[in-house]
């Protein structure tokens, strides 16, 4: 992983292949295609439920499809060989931490160590309320859940004593193939920056233009300094907003972004998405950049 201030060209990932009505066909077509075209990663988000009727800040219409990311990543693990598989993101306070730890360890195992765990704390109150999780102190809950998950992954004789989670005298195998399993935290607030700097290997910014990314990275750098973290080795991933061309990719790279995770645009059919994936393939963006 390169430093926050590194100006090398970002790698290119792909977002939202689990958000299509014909989910089986979408996963089966888009996952292997992205791998063949040189994308470095697939990032899948989640919403268990969304408000009906839609109300701000919900990002989706009630009938917009979105497959569970863990189920989808298991499918993609069987259909791909090299591409990295990431949750972008799992809303951690909504999940039982030990069940999720088992699911993620299983995913890392069946994928041969290709999983990145992207997590956030949630922002959609109707979803959290329906699941039975309070919005209050969700950041504290998420950090504790992550600590409990790391205990079951990493301790020889796991135990954990917290406010929300307590266990001892239990164990769980298999452990993740990766030691440690990479954890990336999302969120655009100062509190999110502090959590990422203290507890994660990287940060994920969603749907940010170049200017907004620069502002976020300023805050993140301050949090890394306060946490005594060297920015070298801390990975920055962003889903860009606005045009995607060699010039804009280079602009993100100059800011220190390590990876851009592209969200397909311009149509909702699988043919439209496939056309986007071809048009923005990493090799095509790199070749066009050299020609500029």
DSSP 43-84: EE---S---SS--TT--S-TT-----HHHHHHHHHHH-SSSE
Question: Is 116 a domain residue?
Answer: yes
Question: Is 3 a domain residue?
Answer: no
Predicted confidence at residue 289, as pLDDT, reads 56
Predicted confidence at residue 268, as pLDDT, reads 73
Question: Is 1 a domain residue?
Answer: no
Q: What is the pLDDT of residues 63-90, one digit of tens each?
A: 999 999 999 999 999 999 999 999 999 9
Q: What CATH number is attached to the domain comprising 248?
A: 3.20.20.30
Predicted confidence at residue 5, as pLDDT, reads 44
Question: Is 52 a domain residue?
Answer: yes
Predicted confidence at residue 6, as pLDDT, reads 45
Is the model's pTM score more than 0.85?
yes
Residue from 212, 217, 261, 254 nearest 237 by CA: 261
Predicted confidence at residue 3, as pLDDT, reads 41
Note down the domain range covering 167. Answer: 11-291
Q: How far apart are CA 114 and CA 81, in angstroms?
A: 9
Residue from 70, 19, 51 nearest 130 by CA: 51
What integer best gives the mean pLDDT of the chain? 95
Pairing of strands 166-167, 183-186: unpaired
Distance, CA of 73 to chain centre: 12
Question: Is 6 a domain residue?
Answer: no
Question: Is 125 a domain residue?
Answer: yes
95 to 31, 72, 143, 162: CA distances (angstroms): 26, 17, 13, 16
Domains in the chain, number = 1
State which residues of the chain have pLDDT below 50.
1-6
- Structure tokens belonging to residue 126: 């109707």
Question: Is 17 a domain residue?
Answer: yes
Predicted confidence at residue 290, as pLDDT, reads 52
């Amino acid at each position: 992983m390169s430093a926050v201030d590194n100006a090398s060209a970002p790698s290119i990932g792909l977002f939202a292949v689990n958000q299509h009505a014909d989910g089986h066909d979408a996963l089966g077509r888009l996952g292997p295609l992205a791998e063949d075209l040189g994308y470095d990663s697939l990032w899948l988000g989640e919403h268990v439920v969304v408000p009906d009727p839609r109300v701000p800040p919900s990002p989706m219409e009630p009938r917009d499809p979105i497959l569970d990311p863990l189920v989808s990543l298991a499918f993609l693990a069987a259909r791909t060989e090299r591409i990295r598989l990431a949750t972008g993101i799992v809303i951690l306070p909504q999940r039982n931490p030990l069940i999720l730890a088992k699911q993620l360890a299983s995913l890392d195992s069946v994928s041969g160590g290709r999983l990145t765990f992207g997590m956030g704390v949630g922002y959609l109150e109707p979803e959290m309320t329906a699941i039975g999780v309070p919005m209050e102190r969700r950041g504290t809950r998420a950090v504790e859940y992550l600590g409990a998950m790391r205990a079951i992954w990493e301790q020889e004789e796991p135990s954990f004593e917290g406010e929300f989670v307590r266990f001892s005298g239990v164990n769980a195998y298999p452990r993740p193939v990766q030691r440690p399993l990479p954890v990336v935290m999302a969120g655009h607030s100062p509190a999110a920056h502090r959590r990422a700097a203290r507890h994660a290997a990287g940060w994920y910014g969603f749907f940010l233009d170049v200017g907004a990314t620069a502002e976020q990275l300023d805050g993140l750098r301050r949090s890394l300094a306060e946490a005594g973290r060297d920015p070298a080795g801390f990975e920055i991933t962003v889903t860009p907003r606005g045009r995607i061309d060699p010039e804009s990719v280079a602009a993100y790279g100059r800011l220190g972004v390590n990876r851009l995770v592209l969200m397909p645009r311009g149509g909702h059919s699988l043919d439209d998405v496939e056309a986007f994936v071809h048009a923005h393939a990493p090799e095509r963006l790199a070749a066009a950049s050299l020609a500029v």
